[in-house]
Amino acid sequence: MEKVKQIGRPVRVLSKKELGQVETLAQYLTQAQIAAHLSISVDTLQRIFKRDEIAGIAYLRGRAVAIAAVGSSVLEKAKTGEFQFAQLFLRTQAGWSETSKHEHFSPDGSMTPQRSNPVALYTIDDDGRRILNEEPHGAIFFLPDNGRDPVEPEPEPAPTPKRKTAAKRKTAARPKPSDNR
């Protein structure tokens, strides 16, 4: 049998030392930074991960170690009652989201804003004293002024007529050559 001659560059394989570096660096560096450390391109590094299962596992193991360490820290802070960490944990691990539901309809179905009756927080007793209502039948919102009150747009100014330039005035003053030759 004839020996087949290889065309192109030789296939890049990571040494055991480089595999250890990949696992360690994957904890805090991106693939682009790891590739730069190894003096190869990102595409080459990704091809190595696809082709060499051990290299891909080394990268994933390094990422998992970092995620576990940070996740453990976040979980401990959440357990102590720190709201931001609890919120972060629930958003990333429990599928919670901070979305608002905007409904664009009115009770009568006309899409016309309806004026509602304000809810009384206090009632006045027989002696003229204010008494706080324990269970108001609605919600009161105090909204800050955002400076975006609707204002009618100013009309656009009429375009000014363009003046003829000196070159156009000269050509306009020249008589046209006659067709009679």
In a domain, 26, yes or no: yes
pLDDT tens-place string over residues 2-29:
677 778 888 889 999 999 999 999 999 9
- The span from the CA of 123 to the CA of 136, in Å, is 11
**Does the pTM of the predicted model rise above 0.85?**
no
- How many domains in the chain? 1
Q: Considering the domain boundaries, does residue 160 fall inside one?
A: no
Structural domain including 63 reads 16-72
pLDDT tens by residue, 57-105: 999 999 999 999 998 998 899 888 888 888 888 888 877 777 666 666 6
